[in-house]
Amino acid sequence: MKLFVGLGNPGAQYAFNRHNVGFMAVDAIAADYDFPPWRKRFAGVATEGKLGGETVLILKPGTYMNESGRSVGEALRFYKLELDDVVVFHDELDLAPGKLRVKTGGGAAGHNGLKSITAHIGNDYVRVRIGIGHPGRKDQVSGYVLHDFAKADHDWLEPLLGAIAEAAPHLADGANDKFQSLVAHRTQEDGDAGREPKPSPKPARTPAEKAAPSKPAQPKAKDGPFGILRRWLGQDG
């Protein structure tokens, strides 16, 4: 069994904060694989299902970020799991926006959620580091992480979360390198697909074409920026 933990702060006012990208990642996984509804467990909310051949408990601590370890420790002890069965998804200031790395152990780099988890269960758990970039100055970090993602981030965030969900069974199987490679490959493909080709010169219109009525404009897709994410979070209106 694996324990997937998303880090974030509870409450609708924090839902789209950069600091909550860990919550967003596990929400995407639970939604894409039709996990049962979330229910209150372990000082948070949890859902349990299958990823590939592995049973996975997905946990979102209901404490604030700096108390996350209490929730994780309760789940770990209840299921008698080892540290390498725990996978924590969190925001990472030291990675460029849209980049992802997986590692086991290491320092907390000032992340209060990781500090709390390490204090409660030890250090050698798996971390999925989701890059959000750095504001440039240390005194701006708190406001930056507790602010919603900018509109400019929408183009990379949804594809990244989709890639994380798609590759999640490999993470559950312990194939961390394969998970990381697949996410990188998928997000690169999506980035390439999103680049518009240079337009070809338009041929001159014939008199008949000029006289024909123009086609009505097609309606815009309902989703728009963050539409998929809002559905993952159960906030689609």
Residues labelled as active-site residues:
19
The dihedral built from the CA positions of residue 231, 163, 140 and 60, taken in this order, carries a sign that is positive
Query: Which tokens sit at 105?
Result: 């152990």
Instruction: Check residue 217 and give left, alpha or beta (phi > 0: left; psi -120 to 50: alpha).
Output: beta
User: Cβ of 93: how many Cβ atoms within 10 Å?
Assistant: 18
How do strand 126-131 and strand 86-92 relate by DSSP bridges? parallel
Closest by CA position to 86, among listed 57, 129, 48, 115: 57
